[in-house]
Chains A and B, each alone.
Chain A
Amino acid sequence: MNNTSLKDAYIEKTRRDFLKKAGAGVTTLALASGVTLMAYPQAAQARKPEEPVDPSQRWGLLIDVNKCTEDCTACVTACSEENGWKQGGNPGIDAQWIRKLKIKNPKSGHEQTFPVMCQHCGAPPCVDVCPTGASFKRADGIVLVDKHICIGCRYCMMACPYKARSFVHEPLTDQKSHAPRGKGTVESCTMCVHRVDRGDQPACVEKCASNGHGALLFGDLNDPNSDIAKRLASYPTKQIRADLGLDTGVRYQNL
């Protein structure tokens, strides 16, 4: 099959798919524009605002450590800007939703850097220990703190093996409307749940890609056709502290 017939076959297939979905009323209008045909399947994937999260999905991240460079902290600043947390020069109490770690093999001297944030565990210990049910896992696998019922006991911070959670010590004003934060509650990476809900990628992933590194890949771990599931199927990947059996949603490649 040559190139032209491949293209024709593709157009024919998309046309038929479109006709199946759309119905006869709008066909002529839609067929006049190839762009509409291409855009249609993408638009169908985004969840409507009034629809609840889909429990068949599980959002995850794959971090390619080889593509992460030591001098770059774009993911950290992107997260900070997106969610409105910042470091006020007091490392003991400052919020830190994502941080860059550096590991070194003492024998060879080989060094690697990579970001660590909430690993969005399948069996999250923070949820196990929470006395009020504030720490919870959403149906699509994103682990969150419901600050309305968080009493600030910080058991979850102690239970988390990744030190992913922070406690807000000071009263705050001018928070982001999509990322409410307040004194006396625990917080952590939300996998940019407000962006995911509207069909976008987390801020760190977007920034890493626009900076040309592309070390972070976001997607649905349960969808075998997603880029992330394909990568996980074709390359060896690791979970940090896999020995704990937490089934993390954040995976690392080349670690």
Chain B
Amino acid sequence: MFAIMKRLFSVVLFASVFALATPTQADETHSQGSGPQYSLPKDAKSCVRDTAFMRRNHMNLLLHKRDETMHDGIRTQKESLQGCINCHVTKDKAGKAIKVSNPKHFCAACHEYTAVKLDCFECHRSTPDTGQDTASIPKIPAHANLLASNANNSSEAKALGRFLKGVTQ
């Protein structure tokens, strides 16, 4: 009984400390205790559905909308990925929208926390479209890096050389 009381007390203490410590951040960053830290849009009062529904089912809404848009050309903004991205935007100190590679990005925050791989942004952009950019290729291609790292490892390079020699003979 004492143990339970102690635990309860610590929870209350933690909650009150947390509430006292973060009043200035309350409108900026939301958190579930030690859970993911994410920002909610400041000017929007509610999402397309309630929060509990969205937490569990946002992927189903997106999947449904994706097929409607792709195959039937239905381009309503509600429940579209573009709509999500345009509203759920997190800005850095310079006022620039942050990309999904930054863990503070609205999608990245929970997906990193729950270790669920996020494939949308392999093709879609993760920030609102300003119309200014062209799709950019990273300056050093991934395979060039791979070759460079292999070349540094001389034993690996020699082994590869021996193998190739064997193949060609």
Any A CB within 8 A of the CB of B25: no
Known: A49-B76, A172-B137, A177-B85. A147 touches B129 (CB 8 A): no
- Chain A residue nearest in CB terms to B101: A173
Known: A49-B74, A146-B70, A177-B129. A170 touches B138 (CB 8 A): yes
CA of A7 to CA of B141, assembled, Å = 65
Main secondary structure of the interface of A (DSSP, over half): loop
- Chain B residue nearest in CB terms to A80: B134
Whether A180 contacts B129 by the Cβ 8 Å rule is: no
Any B CB within 8 A of the CB of A85: yes
B138 contacts which chain A residues (CB < 8 A)?
A: 170-171, 173
Whether A177 contacts B71 by the Cβ 8 Å rule is: no
Number of chain B residues whose Cβ lies closer than 8 Å to a Cβ of chain A: 29
Interface residues of A in 143-186 (CB under 8 A from B): 144, 146-148, 170-178, 180-185
Known: A49-B76, A178-B129, A180-B124. A148 touches B70 (CB 8 A): yes
Any A CB within 8 A of the CB of B122: yes
Whether A181 contacts B75 by the Cβ 8 Å rule is: no
B70 contacts which chain A residues (CB < 8 A)?
A: 144, 146, 148
How would residues 75 to 92 of chain A score, 1 for a CB under 8 Å from any chain B CB and 0 otherwise? 000001100111010000
Interface residues on A, range: 35 or more
B134 contacts which chain A residues (CB < 8 A)?
A: 80-81, 84-86, 174
B74 contacts which chain A residues (CB < 8 A)?
A: 49-52
Interface residues of A in 91-141 (CB under 8 A from B): 136, 138-140
Closest CB in chain B relative to A176 CB, distance in Å:
6
Any B CB within 8 A of the CB of A198: yes
Per a CB cutoff under 8 Å, which of B68, B73, B75, B123 touches A175? B123
A148 contacts which chain B residues (CB < 8 A)?
A: 66, 70
- Give the interface of B toward A (CB within 8 A): 66, 68, 70-77, 82, 85, 99, 122-125, 127-129, 131, 133-138, 141-142
Q: Known pairs A138-B71, A173-B136, A174-B135; list 14 more (Cβ under 8 Å).
A: A49-B76, A49-B77, A84-B134, A85-B134, A138-B73, A139-B72, A140-B73, A172-B123, A175-B123, A175-B135, A176-B133, A176-B135, A177-B82, A181-B123
**Chain A to chain B: the 10 pairs with minimum beta-carbon distance, closest first:** A182-B123, A177-B129, A52-B72, A180-B123, A174-B133, A53-B73, A182-B122, A84-B135, A170-B137, A175-B135
- Give the interface of A toward B (CB within 8 A): 47, 49-53, 80-81, 84-86, 88, 136, 138-140, 144, 146-148, 170-178, 180-185, 193-194, 197-198
